[in-house]
Amino acid sequence: MSRGFSMVELLIVLTVITILTGISLFYLSGHQRLYRPDEQAQKIIDFFQEGRQRSLTQRETMRVEIDLTDGMARLIDENLPTTPGDDQIIKSMVLFPQNDVTMNVRPPDISTNPTESMPVPIALFKPSIHPLSISHNVCTFRFLRNGTVVNEGTDAVGSNATTTGLTLFIWSPKKDNPNESEIARAITVIGATGSVRYWEYNRNLTEVNKWKDSRRSGIYGG
pLDDT along the chain (222 residues), means of 10: 63 76 55 77 95 95 97 96 91 95 95 88 95 96 96 93 94 92 94 93 89 61 37
Note whether 96 and 80 are within 8 A (CB).
Answer: no
Q: What per-residue confidence (pLDDT) applies to 31?
A: 46
β-bridge partners, 112: none
pLDDT at 21: 67
- Element of type H or E holding 62: strand 62-67
| Residue pair 183/33 in contact by the 8 Å Cβ criterion | no
Distance CA 6, CA 8 (A): 5
DSSP state of 41: H
Residues in Cβ contact with 31 at an 8 Å cutoff, skipping those fewer than 6 apart: none
Strands 72-77 and 149-150: unpaired
Whole-number Å distance between alpha carbons of 92 and 75: 6
**pLDDT score of 218:** 36
- Which pLDDT does position 35 carry in this prediction? 81
Distance of CA 127 to the CA centre of its chain: 19
Sorted by sequence, the CB contacts under 8 Å of residue 102 that are 6+ apart come out as 169, 170, 171, 172, 173
